[in-house]
Structure 1
Amino acid sequence: MDEEHLDDDLRVVKGRSLLPRCLRSFLPVYVLLGLSLLLSISLCALSLSRVSAVSSKLLEVNPERGQNFSNRDSLLFPCGPDSREWEYFHGKCYYFSLGRASWFRAKAQCEELGSHLAVIDSFAEQSFIMFRTRNERFWIGLTDRNSEGDWEWIDGTDYKTTFTFWKEGEPNNSGNNEDCAHVWIAGKWNDVYCTYECYFVCEKPLPR
């Protein structure tokens, strides 16, 4: 074998011996990177478990914090998030019907909704209802069906000592059978026969 071929063989052998040595020099780096990754994952898992534990303790100490969403709903929809057709005014909820009915049917529909026909006991409440009814006829919870001339509020409120807002000349019992009251022009009250069909106002307290 000549000297030139010997040098080539030596270079090949040396090249082969250098590759494993190079890999061995990077092996600790790969090991450290792997350990660092495992440590990072472990720390993240530990942090998440601690955050979860702290949140649970905060809710135990102050359970009202878990009710923030319902509290916001009560501010936006004081009559209940599922009762958006009800309108809030001065501590009560009101429903203004979209269809007409007799006084008896209106009374029954209000009761089906867990309420009663509106009982107007102040000028503030009268103004609110007057603004909403806008000269349309709406039944209220006032009647003298039990005794002619003895008007009674449907919830037992004493009629003789409370606010009234009759139209001039009313109640007049025209036709001898006008036993139910509704609001009409400018919100004034008028008596009419109870089978007349008009809109109606229901009233109920705020939900608890």
Structure 2
Amino acid sequence: MYIHTKFNFNKTLLQEYRKEFIASDFTASWQYAHSHCNQYFDGLAIVLDQQDNDRLQEAITVGSNPSPQHWIGGSKVNSTWYWNTNEGDLVDFIWFNWGHGQPDAETCIRVWISFKWYTSSCNTLNYFVCQRYMY
């Protein structure tokens, strides 16, 4: 599957594939988490809608370490928020789940209180959630 850089994401394209989320059992910076998920899975979690968010919450809740803070695959590039794919492409957000007062000045996204999205310094060590496509 290839997603063009900075294109609006075609959700129907993704629906042809089944996606699962896998919560980590160790903490890392956002960049290390991104690299790890790209190497062993299909990237950090990309959350396209409420259904994805529900499945993300389930993966975190049943994971080996249900910490409230996990990196997901979104980050800010030149003042715009994008999903970062494992191919190195940037995909526009089509659905948001920001927490109160978010986003703020930081550049990476973690899932936190009530499974809402909060920004954080990318160097902070958090658990993270990878995704894997089932073809």
TM-score by length of 1: 0.50
User: Aligned residue for 1:21?
Assistant: none
| Larger RCO (CA within 8 A; separation ≥ 6) | 2
User: Aligned residue for 1:167?
Assistant: 99
Equivalent residues in 2 for 1:16-95 (5 A)?
A: 91-95=18-22
Distance, in Å, in 1 between the alignment partners of 2:41 and 2:47 is 18
Q: Deviations over 1:33-82 (max 9, x none)?
A: xxxxxxxxxxxxxxxxxxxxxxxxxxxxxxxxxxxxxxxxxxxxxxxxxx
Structure 1 residue matching 2:91: 3-state secondary structure: coil
Q: CA deviation at 1:127?
A: 1.3
Q: Which letter does structure 1 place at the counterpart of 2:97?
A: F
Structure 1 residue matching 2:80: 3-state secondary structure: coil
Q: CA deviation at 1:163?
A: 0.9
Number of matched pairs: 110
Is 1:124 aligned with 2:51?
A: yes
- Given candidates 122, 128, 135, the residue that maps to 1:194 is 122
Show structure 1 runs of 5+ residues with no match.
1-89
Q: Deviations over 1:143-188 (max 9, x none)?
A: 01x31x31111023222xx111000110111xxxx11001001100
Distance, in Å, in 1 between the alignment partners of 2:60 and 2:25 is 11
Is 1:183 aligned with 2:111?
A: yes
Q: Which letter does structure 2 place at the counterpart of 1:195?
A: N
User: Aligned residue for 2:29?
Assistant: 102
User: Aligned residue for 2:84?
Assistant: 154
Distance, in Å, in 1 between the alignment partners of 2:51 and 2:99 is 17
| Distance 1:94-1:132 versus aligned 2 partners, 3 A rule | closer
Distance, in Å, in 2 between the alignment partners of 1:133 and 1:205 is 18
Q: How much is the aligned-residue C-alpha RMSD, in angstroms? A: 1.6
Higher helix share: 1
Structure 2 residue matching 1:186: 3-state secondary structure: helix
Distance, in Å, in 1 between the alignment partners of 2:40 and 2:58 is 23
Distance, in Å, in 2 between the alignment partners of 1:138 and 1:105 is 13
Distance, in Å, in 1 between the alignment partners of 2:115 and 2:59 is 9
Equivalent residues in 2 for 1:128-147 (5 A)?
A: 128-134=55-61, 136-144=68-76, 146-147=77-78
Calculate percent identity across the aligned residue pairs: 27
Tell which structure's C-alpha radius of gyration is larger: 1
Structure 2 residue matching 1:171: 3-state secondary structure: coil
Higher strand share: 2
